[in-house]
């Protein structure tokens, strides 16, 4: 799904401590918006990764490209800058970046 990918967020609280996964190959920082909602802004370096979700998530690709399979269902799908995908709560997704760096915004619902 293509969306209007955000380029900046105003009036946020940024959490300085990074979330570091897979020996630094996936790194994100959390922000909290004025309305109390949370997002993470992150980078995914080349590799294949699996993430479990607690709450539903909306992943928006800001730059780069990746392949994703949500909760083990269906085929792998390709995503690029401006695309997004949703992951249900209490599920998982697998993501693969073949080259370069995928940059993303993850919104928690």
Give residue-wise pLDDT tens across range 61-88: 999 999 999 997 889 999 999 999 999 9
Share of the chain above pLDDT 90, in %: 86
At 29, is the secondary structure helix, strand, or coil? strand
Question: What is the arithmetic mean of pLDDT over 29-45?
Answer: 96
pTM above 0.85, yes or no: yes
Please name the residues in contact with 34: beta carbons below 8 A apart, sequence gap of 6 or more: 11, 12
* 7, pLDDT greater than 80: no
All structural domains of the chain, each given as residue ranges with its CATH number in brackets, are: 12-108 (2.60.120.10)
């Amino acid at each position: 799904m293509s969306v209007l990918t955000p380029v900046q967020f105003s009036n946020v609280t940024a959490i300085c401590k990074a979330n570091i996964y897979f020996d630094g190959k996936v790194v994100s920082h959390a922000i909290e918006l004025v309305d109390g909602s949370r997002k993470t802004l992150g980078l995914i370096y080349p590799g294949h990764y699996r993430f479990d979700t607690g709450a539903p998530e909306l992943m928006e690709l800001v730059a780069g490209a990746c392949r994703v399979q949500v909760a083990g269902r269906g085929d792998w799908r390709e995503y690029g800058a401006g695309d997004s995908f949703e992951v249900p709560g209490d599920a998982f997704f697998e993501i693969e970046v073949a080259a370069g760096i995928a940059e993303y915004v993850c919104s928690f619902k």
